[in-house]
Amino acid sequence: MVTIPQHGKNGELFDISSFLAEIDLFAKPDTWHLTIDRCTGDRALEIEDLSAGGLSISDAEFRTLYRGIFQTIDGHFIGLANGVQVFKLLAFDSSFWEVTGSPEFESHMLTTYGAWQRV
């Protein structure tokens, strides 16, 4: 598990839309299991309500549902391929992400986004 920031040095947000290229390259899921406590953007309240008890949806459905979200403040995302977990992304209080996956995926995420440091 590695911990990366939710915000870059220039204030840019690192969120699911940022991570999809890495996910496609290293850990392409066919199913997402998500629980979103708080997010911002199009359909945010709908997503929070739908996923309150946990929501499992296909990769295509997830991408359509989450397309308008620009920030996940608190949320859990688990990617599954053929029923096996290939990654887990946990967003904490708009501060950092805990990323769990293959060593290659974790290393790439750490190299790309940097290590989170408590300020």
pTM beyond 0.85: yes
Quick: pLDDT tens for 16-62.
999 999 999 999 999 999 999 999 999 999 999 999 999 999 999 99
Whole-number CA gyration radius for the chain: 13
Q: Tens of pLDDT along 55-94?
A: 999 999 999 999 999 999 999 999 999 999 999 999 999 9
**For 22-119, where are the E strands, in sequence order?**
31-41, 55-58, 69-81, 84-92, 96-101
